[in-house]
Amino acid sequence: MQVTPPSPKHRAVLGQLSDMDLRLLQVFKSVAECGGLSAAELELNIGTSTVSRHMKDLETRLGLTLCRRGRAGFALTAEGQRVYDETLRLLSAVDAFRSSIDDIHRRMGGRLEVAVFDKTASNPAAHIGEAIARFAEQAPEVNLQMHVASIPAIERGLMDGGFHVGIIPAHRVSQSLVYANLFTETMLLYCGARHPLFGADHAALTWDALRTWQFAGLGYHSPNMELSHGARLPRKATGFDQESIATLILSGRYLGFLPEHYAESFERKRLMQAVQPAEFFYPCQFVSVLRKSPQPTRAAQAFAACLRAAHDPG
């Protein structure tokens, strides 16, 4: 009996993964994150024509159209989005494998993904730069990748392996993560120059009186959200990072909390003002975070140790 071979659409289009496949997926990841071939050219340090050829090679290899590119702009197809998600998982697993092999050899190499909550660099109590310098001296072969992200994104990234070390405000405890205190910052309540409270006498202002004004707060679990809920402040606008909260305050329509060190430049320019800072404030403790299991790599543990040493008051 003659056996009919499977049609191309039913045949497995991807066999053994090769180094070239991983390279093509790296190119695709950069194109997807940069939002186009031309933008990825700078990221990858190769010409646009080469980026385009790699993308075509990958689409042929997978038998899928990964993106639309033309006058309407760049966009991933539905299949492209799924391949992008799987690419992130695959490349993360490859990096984890390499880090594990380095651990076996008692050396530190590969990539270390460190994620920091935004607007910490201007905090004089944050010595993250010093910690990086210490780590770079100890582990010169490690490729350090720094990210800025929201608290939930950092926590999720630590749990799924996308991030190795996080630096976030302490707000709740997960049994899957390990925390260490680093530094604090003071959060003050601000109004913009267009707000009725700007330049006004705040001496008689109470927490109860604050509820008559519209409030801008962070849209996820954080010390900011805990305080606004506890004080029953009417959140009428939502931001998802400190920059967006500052922008809402600058509109003159909302009150909002910002780190004192970050808002200082706005105050100097008379663009915003702290509202009764002796009364309306809260301290925010920052912590380093590692996942508990599987055990963090030697590089992640070393970086966390450098963070602790850099912030040791002794």
Instruction: Return the CATH number at 41.
Output: 1.10.10.10
Cis-peptide into 294, omega within 30 deg? yes
Last residue of a domain, one of 47, 62, 89: 89
Last residue of a domain, one of 38, 72, 89: 89
- Pure H helices in 110-172: 128-138, 151-160
User: Can you state the percent helix, strand and coil of the chain, rounding each to 5?
Assistant: 40, 20, 40
- The predicted pLDDT at position 6 comes to 46
- The predicted pLDDT at position 37 comes to 85
- The predicted pLDDT at position 11 comes to 47
- The predicted pLDDT at position 169 comes to 96
Give a yes or no: residue 222 inside a domain. Answer: yes
φ and ψ at 75, to 5 degrees? -160, 140
- The predicted pLDDT at position 104 comes to 64
The domain total for the chain is 2
For the whole prediction, is pTM greater than 0.85? Answer: no
Give a yes or no: residue 191 inside a domain. Answer: yes
Give a yes or no: residue 60 inside a domain. Answer: yes
Give a yes or no: residue 308 inside a domain. Answer: no
- The predicted pLDDT at position 30 comes to 87
- The predicted pLDDT at position 3 comes to 47
Give a yes or no: residue 217 inside a domain. Answer: yes
- Give the domain range for residue 268: 184-284
- The predicted pLDDT at position 257 comes to 98
Cβ neighbours for 30, distance < 8 A, ≥ 6 positions apart: 40, 43, 44
Give a yes or no: residue 241 inside a domain. Answer: yes
- The predicted pLDDT at position 253 comes to 97
Low-confidence residues in the chain, pLDDT < 70: 1-15, 99, 102-108
Give a yes or no: residue 297 inside a domain. Answer: no
Give a yes or no: residue 75 inside a domain. Answer: yes
Of 169, 142, 138, the residue nearest 155 (C-alpha) = 169
Q: Which two tokens stand for residue 167?
A: 């630096």
Cβ neighbours for 93, distance < 8 A, ≥ 6 positions apart: 161
Of 150, 112, 308, 173, the residue nearest 238 (C-alpha) = 150
- Pure H helices in 164-236: 207-210, 223-230
- The predicted pLDDT at position 10 comes to 45
68's enclosing H/E stretch is strand 67-68
Residues in the chain, total = 314
- The predicted pLDDT at position 285 comes to 97
Of 193, 169, 180, 217, the residue nearest 274 (C-alpha) = 193
- Per-residue pLDDT tens over the stretch 67-108: 987 777 788 999 999 999 898 888 877 777 776 776 665 666
| CATH assignment at residue 266 | 3.40.190.290
Of 25, 289, 50, the residue nearest 178 (C-alpha) = 289
- For Cα atoms 263, 269, 272, give the angle at the middle one, nearest 5 degrees: 50
